[in-house]
Structure 1
Amino acid sequence: MLALSRKKNESIIINNNVELTVLEVKGDQIRLGITAPKEIPIYRKEIYIQIQNENKEATDVTEIEALKKLL
């Protein structure tokens, strides 16, 4: 993991086309602005994990149903 220090209105660039900007620091919360191409999906980590889990469950059910049909 790379750890960087940034102040308000300072940015970092990722892969030449994603920019993260610190918009506000208030107590233990930080507001980030993200500028990226529309084809790059951006999720909060907890939402990303939820999507991955739901996709896995959907795949598991689909495989079971497909196997039942074969029998």
Structure 2
Amino acid sequence: MNLDLDLDLEEQKLNSNLVKDLFEFTSQSKHWNILRYTKDNTPYNYYNYISYRIENGKVTEIIP
């Protein structure tokens, strides 16, 4: 079960299909900018935290 907070900071169950879709979309490398070292053009190894604002079952904001 996926739980998250609503706008009143109350726990709310998330739609598992929406969670799956967001994970699949976010994990695709084509949606990420590749950061590279300037000297030899080697890509950085990095990670990022992402928050989604979901209102009425729709993503209204993605906060990196």
TM-score > 0.5, shorter chain as reference:
no
- Higher relative contact order at CA 8 Å, sep ≥6: structure 1 or structure 2? 1
> Counting helix residues as a fraction of each chain, which structure ranks higher?
1
Larger Rg belongs to: 1
**TM (normalized to structure 2)?**
0.31
